[in-house]
A and B are shown apart, each in its own frame.
Chain A
Amino acid sequence: MNRRPFLKLVSALTIASALAATATTAETIRIGAVAPKTGPLAGGATVTQWPSIYLWVDQVNAAGGLTVDGEQMMIELIEYDDQTNPGETIKAVQRLATQDDAHFIIAPYGTGLNLAAAPLFDRYGYPQIAVSAITDQQPELSAQFPNMFFTLGTTTALAADVVKVLSDMRDAGQLGDNVAMVNVADAFGIELATAARPLFEEAGFNIVYETSYPLGTQDLSPVIKGAAAAEPDAFVAWSYPPDTFGLTEQAMIENLDVKAFYTAVATPFPGYGARFGAAAEGVLGAGGVNTESPAFMEYAAAHEAVTGEKPDYWASATTYASLEILAQAIEAVGLDRAAVTQHLRESTYETILGPISFDENNSNPDFWTVGQWQGGVFKGVASRGRDGAVPVILKDGWE
Chain B
Amino acid sequence: MDILITGILLGGTYALIAMGLNLQYGVARIMNLANGEMLVAGGYFAFIAYTATQLSPILTIFLVAPLAFALNWLIYRLMLQPLVNRAKNRGQLETDSILATFGLSFIGVGLMLSFFGGDYFSYSFLAVPVELLGSTYGANRVLSFVMAVLICGALYLWLNQSRPGLSIRAIATAPASARLVGIDVKHLSALAFALGGAVTAVGGALISTYLTLDASTGVVFTLKALIIVIMGGVGDVRGTIVAALLLGILETVVASLLDPGLTLAAAYVMFLGILLFRPQGLFGKKPT
Chain B residue nearest in CB terms to A308: B117
A183 to B: closest C-beta gap in Å: 10
Pair A212/B261 contact, Cβ less than 8 Å: yes
Pair A255/B255 contact, Cβ less than 8 Å: no
Instruction: Point out the residue from B13, B136, B216 that lies within 8 Å of A42, measured CB to CB.
Output: B216
Q: In the complex the two chains form, what is the Cα distance from A275 to B122 in whole Å?
A: 7
Give every chain A residue within 8 A of B32 (Cβ-Cβ). Answer: none
Total A-B contacts with CB atoms under 8 angstroms apart: 116
A261 to B: closest C-beta gap in Å: 15
Chain B residue nearest in CB terms to A249: B127
Interface residues of A in 213-246 (CB under 8 A from B): 213-214, 216-223, 225-226, 241-242, 245-246
Pair A211/B260 contact, Cβ less than 8 Å: yes
14 contacts between A and B (CB under 8 A): A42-B214, A43-B118, A47-B120, A185-B261, A212-B261, A213-B260, A214-B260, A217-B263, A220-B260, A225-B2, A242-B211, A245-B120, A253-B136, A266-B120
Interface size, A (range): 35 or more
Instruction: Point out the residue from B124, B136, B263 that lies within 8 Å of A255, measured CB to CB.
Output: B136
Q: In the complex the two chains form, what is the Cα distance from A266 to B252 in whole Å?
A: 26
Pair A219/B120 contact, Cβ less than 8 Å: no
Which residue numbers of A lie inside 8 Å of B, CB to CB? 36-40, 42-43, 45-47, 50, 185, 211-214, 216-223, 225-226, 241-242, 245-246, 249-250, 252-255, 266, 269, 271, 275-277, 309
Given contacts A37-B113, A218-B13, A223-B255, contact A253 B118 (CB under 8 A): no
Pair B120/A218 contact, Cβ less than 8 Å: no
Pair B120/A43 contact, Cβ less than 8 Å: yes
Q: Does B109 contact A (CB under 8 A)?
A: yes
We find that the number of chain B residues with CB closer than 8 angstroms to chain A is: 41
Chain B residue nearest in CB terms to A216: B220
Give every chain B residue within 8 A of A212 (Cβ-Cβ). Answer: 259-261
Instruction: Point out the residue from B9, B117, B138, B248 that lies within 8 Å of A249, measured CB to CB.
Output: B138
Pair A219/B119 contact, Cβ less than 8 Å: no
A329 to B: closest C-beta gap in Å: 30
Pair A241/B255 contact, Cβ less than 8 Å: no
Pair B118/A42 contact, Cβ less than 8 Å: yes
Given contacts A225-B2, A242-B212, A246-B212, contact A211 B259 (CB under 8 A): yes
